[in-house]
Chain A
């Protein structure tokens, strides 16, 4: 069996030796390659009145300055809407690039960019959600999903409360910043090496700015040093600049942002503001939930609409909300354009209901985990958009199992005893569930293609539309192909993703990479395997239906009789003029959604999980440590357990960063003050809890998905909500059973300190002084 085996990442040896190449590592393979550097405007809103490039051209080594005049086709890289002018005279956010200097060396390009002179007239910027609401600056019309009569249910509810929560954004901080190298081949067609999650769209945008048909542009995504959604659309303009530079100069052009410029220019996870009212009974059962959300989309639409929609879809998390209304809009502000990021709005929606349930529990003086469990979906329930919650029983199954394995109840008592004895340090314990819908909500993205090539020696190349960003997609695809063809893993090579192998692909996103591409590869491999069984049947003079191909051997399924080596059958097939390559195609069945009605079945299935977390907080500083985390997560029948474990753990820790210390700080003038690792703090190994127990849910076959597996990329991210809830629990212990524990997000030490000040009344005393 290849599928289900715990194997290292297919490029692991390349990773550890430095031999694995990334886009920017290819530079020295392009002799004469020019280097690009952006000319940035340091205002959040401005008009460029004049630009003088002559001083830059005087810098030794500067070759040219790319401006709007160099755009052959359309000077716009917008995808959802034509709202991203590549070379613009209007400045929409601090640090926007308005021109690019090309130099013989990176040094020359940098010095050239500093030399370009700009006359700019600063304008009034709209900074942040509140300012956008006040100015009525929106990208989208109001959207809504509702069920029942929320107003009546709220009125009838024995108790209600309301809350407001702002959740900050998050920088992707893929270790590899945006990069592209464009060159022209002997036929004059443009090849762009791009660190992109969506080669097809990058191809489309390059073709658009060059005014060429797509068959004149090839995009290759070799592998990415992390992406997390940040390279789903935002790789496009980078590739477009490289391509334009290349066509202008007839030399290869490399564009690579350094961290500070990547931070300033590229979009992030959307900040969200939520205001809710929740109605409930004395047992904590939710009777009505009314949530209004606003997201900060930044200056252009980008993927903000589907991100916002996913927040609406996930405002229920794992809870049955009978009368419910979730609605809101995407704000248009003078910030970089916020974009896809692991979870894609789901986390922002889910954190709202978790915030509200904690408030309900505190109002009732009931432990929050009791209120949570009381509201779980039960089999047969439907979501607020009226999709049946498939395998809803897993929510309770996971919850109960995790509570047992984490010794939750005993530790709940232990934490209480600790807190009794320690006035200045308090511990908090919390458990939270995750339910996450799998599929692109844009229906047409739910398709994939593959091209499988078997060579005469029996070795195999697999091409598919998915990109490798570290998530182990190629590893899984290698396993799927080996399994479906019946050959050993080492006979299968997964090729770099190229638009000239598989056309019209979808972004590798929405956790769907292995579901979609795996199914397409499986189909292609089964086509070939079917042909080979027929060949072998002729060779052995038996019914091909009795034959099985496994581990590189073709033999009768019952093990009787003669066995033929795979390569021998392949050789025979070639001589018999049997086709040894095949394409495969897959489209997700039975999904649909009516946006106007807010009804449908947008998701193929749901992924589930839960996490229990314990923290300890210092009263004097608000600083804290995560002491222990237990996770149980549903990945179906794992295609690749080591890869899946890595996704669960890594997703969790990334979520921890989002909710705790990764604070994006914008100065009052719209400048992002956190533009590098010295100011923006992702978790280090120091934040990894000493005790981390992660398990994959056993016996979890998902029918209708490749080898019974489930998507894993995004869902574990939201397990980190348990950390935020544990912090609130610890903060509450500093007070006298406070009736609410507001905690800003991210919960930096400072915000935890203020939360403690609030529950102890110190804040009021301070204000009185």
Chain B
């Protein structure tokens, strides 16, 4: 029975042998008496539980990657190197800790370990020297006391990394790889956690365990564990599958592996696709994007997921794979109902293919109570291919206005073949009236959502016209 779960914690080897695969890293840390990491929400929204993984970045370099410990399954730590707030001071306070103390960055102190962890990762980020402090680095940490000003000042005032810094030295050596790993828990019933390293293994395991729940970053599934108290018998992690982590910017298409963390997509895009780059900073927070993936965002098929409207606007294709082989699903055919997809049993999302040429106009609008780290009330992905002033192809895709993310096809048709003009926008708006029947919930009323559908098109018009 594979029950050995070993990893490195604050520089020392630890074992969590026989743990239930539904255990989170945060729960395990706190039960061990490592109580510096706090549970503020248990759904990845407050960052009080932030911890660091030593990981290889898309640039091939080792880096400190901050993540929400409440959403990391213990199995994901196997073979990894983890740092918690307790492991950051080295005899004396770390410069990040010093800055937080001196500027009054802590009041009650409960969120502080999470901020320190986020700032620590930012401190060592290559590129900070040229780009300056990235406010996004702390946008996934909630503080209820300070109002953030001293924390922002602490981040902005951080010194550059000293050459002799031992934490920097660690980044000169390779990070641990995400290797194949199997955990069969010691709990009654023997719950299982599989983390295969190849796609063939992954599909084979999935064929053997069709009831397995797939996980990659865990930013959705572990919320279910924490909040709905769901417990899964078999968990299949796709995090280690090399084929799913590919990123290919080819002549005919941009292809993104289903298991590439969103932060990595942001970094790799490098100006290639503005609409996607407009989306990503608004997609939850850095702590989440360091774990969350496109595959997960599509497979959960939430009507308020942020990537579907953009991928719908871009006519993306989803490549699904199973033990039987591969097939392509036009993204428009992926969502079949509320949190339902056309994926077959045993099938998983391997990658997303975005065909080229990209549209000439692409915009993502997100309507939410808060700009950063919020879930959409309504989101829209708009893509127009305009040649000589005439709309050749129009895609108007919305989230939050129906049971699934959806395109407004009649309105698209009203735009296509027409000059991009006031008159065409008015015709499209006429088609949008009543196109969707949204509902009322805590994020917004049905009336507001319905009003946003034409209003966001109007916003697109105002902003493109102004240019």
- Measured CB to CB, the residues of A under 8 A from B are 8-9, 11-22, 24-25, 27-28, 60, 106-107, 110-111, 114, 172-176, 223-226, 228, 258-260, 424, 469-472, 618, 620-621, 623, 625, 642-643, 645-646, 649-654, 661, 663, 665, 673-674, 676-679, 681-688, 692, 694, 748-750, 753-754, 757, 766
Instruction: Name the one of A24, A114, A620 contacting B456, with C-beta atoms under 8 angstroms.
Output: A620
| Nearest CB of chain B from residue A643's CB, rounded to whole Å | 7
The stretch of B134-142, B164-172, B395-403 in contact with A is B134-142
Instruction: Return the contact of B40 from the options A60, A677, A749 (Cβ within 8 A).
Output: A677
A/B interface sample: 28 pairs, CB < 8 A: A13-B97, A15-B109, A16-B105, A16-B109, A17-B93, A18-B35, A18-B37, A18-B86, A22-B38, A25-B30, A173-B144, A175-B144, A225-B108, A259-B43, A470-B106, A621-B452, A650-B107, A653-B146, A661-B369, A676-B41, A678-B45, A681-B370, A683-B148, A686-B139, A686-B373, A688-B147, A688-B148, A749-B377
By the criterion CB–CB under 8 Å, are B152 and A642 in contact? no
Chain B nearest CB from A471 CB (Å) reads 7
Which residues of A sit under 8 angstroms from B106, Cβ to Cβ?
A: 9, 11-12, 15-16, 470
CB distance from A342 to the nearest CB of B (A): 10
Assess the A681–B152 pair: CB atoms within 8 A: no
Given contacts A12-B100, A176-B108, contact A686 B451 (CB under 8 A): no
Please give 15 more A-B residue pairs, beta carbons under 8 A apart, in addition to A11-B106, A678-B223: A13-B97, A13-B101, A17-B85, A28-B31, A176-B38, A259-B41, A620-B459, A645-B104, A673-B442, A677-B46, A678-B375, A686-B370, A688-B148, A753-B448, A753-B455
User: Could you tell me if A646 and B86 are in contact, using CB atoms closer than 8 angstroms?
Assistant: no
Which of chain B's residues have a CB closer than 8 A to the CB of A676? 41-43, 45, 227
Q: Is B39 interfacial (CB-CB < 8 Å)? A: yes
- A27 neighbours in B (Cβ, 8 Å): 30
Residues of B within 8 A of A618 (CB): 459
CB distance B365 to A621 under 8 Å? yes
Q: Which candidate, B110-118, B321-329, B413-421, is the interface stretch facing chain A?
A: B110-118
Leading 5 A-B pairs by shortest Cβ distance: A18-B36, A470-B108, A225-B110, A15-B109, A653-B147
Q: Inside 8 A of A642's CB, which chain B residues have their CB?
A: 104
Report yes or no: A469 in contact with B108, Cβ–Cβ below 8 A: yes
Give Cα A749 to B444, complex, Å. Answer: 9
B149 touches A692 (CB 8 A): yes
Bound CA–CA A600/B400 (angstroms): 54
A750 adjacent to B111 (CB under 8 Å)? no
Known pairs A17-B97, A174-B108; A684 contacts B442 (CB<8 A): no
Is A16 touching B369 in the complex (CB atoms < 8 A)? no
Contact A683 to B138, CB < 8 A, known contacts A12-B101, A677-B45, A750-B448: no
Query: Which of A16, A469, A754 is close to B112, meaning CB atoms less than 8 Å apart?
Result: A16
Is there an interface contact between B112 and A21, defined as CB atoms closer than 8 Å? no
Q: What is the distance, in angstroms, from A250's C-beta to the closest C-beta of chain B?
A: 22
Closest to A663 in B: B369
Query: Residues of B at under 8 Å CB distance from A?
Result: 20, 27, 30-43, 45-46, 48, 84-86, 88-89, 93, 96-97, 100-102, 104-113, 116, 135, 138-152, 188, 223, 226-227, 229, 365, 367-375, 377, 441-445, 448, 451-452, 455-456, 458-459, 462
| Nearest-neighbor residue (CB-CB) of B433 within chain A | A769
What are the residues of chain B within 8 A of A679 when measuring CB–CB?
375, 442-443
Bound complex: CA A625 to CA B34 (Å) = 39
Chain B positions within 8 Å of A653 at CB level: 146-148
Q: Are A621 and B369 in contact (CB under 8 A)?
A: no
Interchain CB contact under 8 A, B100 and A16: yes
A769 to chain B, nearest CB (A): 9
Contact between chains at A9 and B104 (CB < 8 Å): yes
Question: How far apart sit A468 and B27, CA to CA, in the bound complex (Å)?
Answer: 26
Across the interface, which residues of A come within 8 angstroms of B88, CB to CB?
17
Contacts of A106 in B (CB 8 A): 27
How close is B27's CB to chain A, nearest CB, in angstroms? 8
Cβ 8 A contact of A673, one of B33, B147, B441: B441
Q: Are A114 and B229 in touch, CB under 8 angstroms? A: yes
Task: Given A15-B106, A175-B38, check contact A652 B147 (CB 8 Å).
Answer: yes
Minimum Cβ distance to chain A for residue B18 (Å): 14
User: In the assembly, what is the distance between CA of A144 and CA of B375, in Å?
Assistant: 43
* Residues in chain A near residue B96, CB distance under 8 A: 16
Which residue of the partner chain A has the closest CB to B377? Answer: A750
A17, A653, A683, A692 — most chain B CB neighbours (10 Å): A17
Q: CB distance A620 to B142 under 8 Å?
A: no
- A25, A650, A685, A687: most-surrounded residue (chain B CB, <10 A): A685
Inter-chain CA distance A262–B215, complex, in Å, is: 28
> Does the CB pair A174–B144 fall under 8 Å?
yes
* A8 near B102: Cβ-Cβ < 8 Å: yes
- Report how far A27 CA is from B441 CA in the complex, Å: 38
Q: Which residues of B contact A748 (CB under 8 A)?
A: 369, 444
User: Which of B85, B102, B152, B367 contacts A18, CB < 8 Å?
Assistant: B85
Q: Would B151 and A685 count as touching, CB distance under 8 A?
A: yes
Whether the Cβ atoms of B144 and A654 lie closer than 8 Å is yes
Contact B442 A663 (CB under 8 A): yes
A259 to B84, CA, bound (A): 22
Please, how many angstroms separate the alpha-carbon atoms of A674 and B88 in the complex? 35
